[in-house]
Amino acid sequence: DAGVTQSPTHLIKTRGQQVTLRCSPKSGHDTVSWYQQALGQGPQFIFQYYEEEERQRGNFPDRFSGHQFPNYSSELNVNALLLGDSALYLCASSLLDRGVLGYGYTFGSGTRLTVV
């Protein structure tokens, strides 16, 4: 049973460019959450998608946007990249309402984004 799959695993972009990261949730999961993990920090919640809509957003600017497709996969887009956007971006999938309470919040291995 495949877990959460993220692509690409590593990415280098130039300041000002745009980037798209992808996430395929664990089979049977319908909700996708994105987190940003800066070097030496804990992950921070970016937003969550369910039924192709953004349910809630963390404290991130509008340069960060996302999308969820009918097959529950998701994309994270970041525009006008800044050096400070360099981080590990984690995707987590779950069943709505059965997520963070430990019943099935599954993380992917992440995409390491470096902005130069």
Partner 1 sequence: GNSVTQMEGPVTLSEEAFLTINCTYTATGYPSLFWYVQYPGEGLQLLLKATKADDKGSNKGFEATYRKETTSFHLEKGSVQVSDSAVYFCALPIIQGAQKLVFGQGTRLTINP
List residues near partner 1 by CB under 8 A. 3-4, 33, 35, 40-45, 47-48, 50, 55-56, 58, 90, 92, 94, 97, 99-102, 105-110
In whole angstroms, give the CA distance from residue 109 to residue 80.
25
In whole angstroms, give the CA distance from residue 93 to residue 6.
11
> What is the chain's length?
116
CB-wise, 14 or 84, nearer to partner 1? 84
Q: What are the C-alpha distances in Å from 61 to residues 46, 47, 78? A: 9, 11, 10
Q: How far is the CB of 68 from partner 1 (least distance, A)?
A: 13
CB-wise, 64 or 110, nearer to partner 1? 110
CB-wise, 55 or 63, nearer to partner 1? 55
